Amino acid sequence: MKKIAMLGSGFIGRFYADSLQGYRNKDKIVSVYSRKADSAKKFAADYQVEHATDNMEAAISNADVDVVCIALPNHLHEEAVQLCCRHKKAVISTKPLGRTGEEAKRMLEAVESAGIFHGYLEDLVYTPKFLKAMETVRKGALGRILWAKSRETHPGPHSDWFWNIELAGGGCILDLGCHCVEIARNYIGKDIRPVEVMCWADTQVKPIDAEDHGIGLVKYENGAIGQFEVSWTFRGGMDLRDEVMGTEGTIWINSFLRTGFEMFTTGKSGDYVAEKAESNSGWLFPVGDELNELGYNHMFMDMFNAMEQGIQPKETFYDGYVVNCILDAAYKSAKTKQWEPVKLDIWRGKTGVGKDSHLTDYDADHYLVKEEVTHYGAKKWILKNKRTGKISERVE
């Protein structure tokens, strides 16, 4: 059993609490911190938490606490992490880890210097569909991964601080792009170094200083491309989709907006349908088990199992740091309109990885470009001469 201090009593803190006290069914939130005392007390009453406070250090230093779960606005993450280091408490933090790569680097160095357990709560790499897709990728079903695209779009976040660029650190690229970048990193290989980013971003709809729409390409050292599409302007709910293309196959995943569960209602009950759903009437697309489909259950299982086994979880502060550095390059590219390098002061993956050889020999003189059977039954090979580079075809 893990005894948890929950920092934050709002939207994400309650999502976490529902999973923490519901799935493993043996873990317990024993302390809750909120910036507002009334919110802390309400959370404590709803989740039967013994200790509620508006003093962050009091929640973290509570003698009963084993692990601290950060579910706070972005600008408070570093303060919370430093307090966890001071009191030698294991810490797991919501995404993004920091507002910038430098902020994330300080947090990474702090937890490693303190020698405490640290986990990065990137729930979308723990969804059941993602876990199944990753299993097939690891087994080689898609061959060498060439392109990994992830999309998250919805009408915008729930709390006021998200819309304040100083508190949040950015707009939809930081809020949603952190998910998409880490999804692509997993598919391509987290040991493959991201080298540069090209990004477009704009504020198209919302009256805010940060961007509400962004599209980016992340180039990896082995030649693979990660792509993210993010928006706070999308109407119709929350759209979570991934596409992965390899030399031997392709995966398409629709995680949320189209789940195979469709319902029509006049809206008489007024019930909650799904996260960021914009309507409770007409044709709706409910989610059968939202906590599970969004990855929270598998995420916390991995975190606590890793703690108990004395090993690192699948996602650590190091991963959060790498993601922040990629997004720093995306923001710079959005301003310069050019490819911008990813600045990584700390890199623990492979080095000097070039493009994998992708040329297949047809015979001693030719590479195979493509092989196919035509609609009229002939078999055709498209070939490239190794010496001259000339493209030709052979037909049987």
Domain definitions of the chain by residue range: 3-122, 125-341, 360-395
Distance from C-alpha of 125 to C-alpha of 193, rounded to nearest angstrom = 19
Domain 125-341 of CATH type 3.30.360.10? yes
Q: Is 102 helix (H, G, I), strand (E, B) or coil?
A: helix
Q: Which residue has the tokens 């299982």?
A: 301
DSSP state of 288: T
pLDDT at residue 335, as a whole number? 98
The size of the chain, in residues, is 396
pLDDT in tens, 218-268: 999 999 999 999 999 999 889 999 999 999 999 999 988 777 788 888 887
Predicted TM-score (pTM) of this structure: 0.91
Tell me what pLDDT residue 184 has: 98
Q: What are phi and psi of 121, to 5 degrees?
A: -85, 70
Give the residue from 185, 187, 80, 194 showing the smallest Cα distance to 143: 187
May I ask the CATH class of domain 3-122? alpha beta
pLDDT digits (tens, 9 = 90+) for 187-220: 999 999 999 999 999 999 999 999 999 999 999 9
- Show the tokens assigned to 202: 């704009």
Q: Alpha carbon of 202 to those of 66, 199, 229: distances in Å?
A: 43, 10, 12
Per-residue confidence band for 279, with pLDDT thresholds at 50, 70 and 90: confident
Supply the DSSP symbol for 156. Answer: -
What pLDDT, in 10s, does the model give residues 81-120? Answer: 999 999 999 999 999 999 999 999 999 999 999 999 999 9
Instruction: Say if CB 265 and CB 228 are below 8 A apart.
Output: no
Averaged over 340-351, what is the pLDDT?
A: 97
